[in-house]
């Protein structure tokens, strides 16, 4: 693993693209919460930190996404990862 000056606490290296290096950290926490429109329900908090760096210019970016859902944990994670991949692929192609 190479030293990255833009990120002091590197998480797991996910994939290395020709133009980008991406580091991801995913945290899932499931709690019970009292909703105003329901009784006690299960709430899933999913936090994704994505760090990317271009290999040619060394430009760094950090994408922090917090997703809160009252869906069951596996359904919330599936929906969250789909939305995150769409967001990341969009942000990587923006100038």
Task: Return the domain boundaries, the chain.
Answer: 13-93
Cα–Cα dist 18/26, whole Å = 23
For residue 67, give the nearest of 51, 86, 81 by alpha carbon. Answer: 81
Cα separation, 84 vs 86, in Å, equals 5
Mean pLDDT of the chain: 57
The better pLDDT of the pair 85, 14 is held by 85
Q: Please say if the pLDDT value at position 44 is more than 60.
A: yes
Q: Radius of gyration (Cα) for the chain, nearest Å?
A: 16
Cβ distance 48 to 26 under 8 Å? Answer: yes
Average pLDDT over residues 21-25: 60
- What lies within 8 Å, CB to CB, of 86 at 6+ separation is none
């Amino acid at each position: 693993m190479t030293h990255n000056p833009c990120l002091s606490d590197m998480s797991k290296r996910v994939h290395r693209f020709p133009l980008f290096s991406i580091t991801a950290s995913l945290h899932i926490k499931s709690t019970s919460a009292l909703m105003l429109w329901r009784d006690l329900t299960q709430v899933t908090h999913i936090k994704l930190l994505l760090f990317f760096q271009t290999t040619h210019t060394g430009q760094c970016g950090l994408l922090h996404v917090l997703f809160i859902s009252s869906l069951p944990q596996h359904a919330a994670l599936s929906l969250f990862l789909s939305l995150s991949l769409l967001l990341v692929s969009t942000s990587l192609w923006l100038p």
